[in-house]
Amino acid sequence: MKKIFITATDTEAGKTFMTEAIMKELTDRRYQVLGFKPVAAGCEETADGLRNADALALQARCSKTLDYQQINPVAFKEPVAPHLAAKKAAQQIDLTQLNQAFDVLQQYQPDFILTEGAGGWRLPLSDTLFLSDLAIQQQMSVVLVVPVRLGCLNHARLTAEAIAHDGLIISGWIANIPDSNMAYLQDNLEALQTLIDAPLIGKVPQVNNADMAAPYLDVTPLL
């Protein structure tokens, strides 16, 4: 079983979109794949409880039918950083809880578990806890999503350095290209390939959904 953590250089970078696309490519290759969104802020109140759109998207892509709480064990209504949402809700995010939820998914023995992060790599869950701690404890490999825009070179290099410092391997990275007319686009892509010591598994232009994004990915380095 392979454990992969999907992170990005920033928030609103396309992590859910790319996680869905990877899940589609893997399931199309007949692999059993589960998605995991350990912490989500910005959830809607429903008759069944708090629901997050990103977590629901991953739930729909899973090879097995899972309860929502198995996909997203920690959910907050406020669309802010999770540690702030937790304080407002008078709750504390516990790494033990996240590990236990992940261990339950492992009991299904899928070929892959894709864990989608929130925000960037060093997202705080409390004053002393970061979401990256879950990836470190579970020894996940990492896929880095880079939205190709002004500032991406610095953000990508710093994120890659932080992941390496934490002792994890970047299995691949994805260039998310929201603007194909960006000035010096090719130069930026070439610079990113130099700055990130990992395989480029996809250059994804602006498309309408994850199914359309999937053909732009080569998930071979993740296998």
Quickly tell me which residue has 């097995």 as its tokens.
64
Rounded to whole angstroms, how far apart are CA atoms 114 and 144?
Answer: 13
Rounded to whole angstroms, how far apart are CA atoms 42 and 77?
Answer: 5
Give the active site residue among 3, 15, 24, 37. Answer: 37
Q: What Cα–Cα distance (Å) separates residue 199 from each residue in 2, 154, 190?
A: 17, 18, 13
Q: Helix, strand, or coil here: 39? A: strand
Residue 24 annotated as catalytic = no
Q: What Cα–Cα distance (Å) separates residue 169 from each residue in 127, 139, 188, 219?
A: 26, 9, 23, 15
CB–CB of 15/117 below 8 Å? yes
Q: What Cα–Cα distance (Å) separates residue 201 from each residue in 176, 213, 219?
A: 11, 12, 6
- Which stretches of 18-69 are assigned E, i.e. beta strand? 33-36, 39-41, 44-46, 49-51
Rounded to whole angstroms, how far apart are CA atoms 143 and 93?
Answer: 24
Residues classed as catalytic: 37
